Amino acid sequence: MARASPHPEHHRISPVFLGVLVVMALSGWVVWTGRAEITGVGVFLFVLSGWIVSLCLHEYAHARSALSAGDTSVGAKGYLTLNPLRYTHAGLSVLLPVLFVVLGGIGLPGGAVYVERGRISRRWRQSLVSAAGPLTNVLLAILLTAPFWLDAMADVPFAFRYALAFLAMLQVTAAVLNALPVPGLDGYGALEPWLSPRLRRRFEPYAPFGLLLVFACLWIPAVNTVFWETVGTVLEWLRVPGADVDFGYEYFRFWNGEPVVDAVDAVDAVDTVGR
């Protein structure tokens, strides 16, 4: 068990993270109250800030698991403060995933918590450190979709419901992509401790390009189809209608104009959730 850090500032929640939480809360209130003139902007800010929060929690889960496993260096690196600016590659962990959400509506995983694996003796602990991030996305997806699978959507404003559905979809895409056993992603990180030293040395040079490889593969129609069918299946398990995700994405891209949601669309979505 890791000893308590003698530096409490290493564990203090960053004002930057708290600021993002405030933006998420305020924009969520705007969407919930249905201020028609700024609903699209509200959805954009709510989803974007919620996505940044989830990215921070993803990286925090890696760091906290590493600390529990024996790597006390994560505290001095600032990983336990939830400050996205303290990650070694803030661009990979925050900026790039945010850009892909804005441009393509996909929750691309990041990754910039550097763990000193030499401090972690057991292989299963090393695997758990890598798995902690995607498992966080899975947990967030379950929490965000709770109103859907608990049949508690009757009194939820439509725009807020669509925003929740879209944000949950981002968590699912991030979890699915990050679980792939591709060098540089968490799926491979969980598998790596069990590989022979020869195989690890062979795959190591490809780690910096793993994320780009996955992104490139998504341009292949067959791969893209399988990926989105997988995401859609998971969302069906969570009882999230695909139409809700689509409307959420349209609201998110407020610069294209807000979607027109007629009564038939709204009733169909409610009926789908209630089945």
**Which positions are annotated as active-site residues?**
59
Distance CA 74, CA 59 (A): 11
Q: Which of 146, 203, 207, 136 is nearest to 174 (CA)?
A: 136
What is the distance between the alpha carbons of residues 153 and 134, in angstroms, rounded to a whole number? 27
Distance CA 165, CA 159 (A): 10
For residues 66 and 129, give the distance between their C-alpha atoms in angstroms, rounded to a whole number: 6
Burial pattern 41-64, b for ≥16 Cβ within 10 A else e, equals bbbbbbbbbbbbbbbbbbbbbbbb
Euclidean distance between CA atoms 16 and 56, whole angstroms:
11
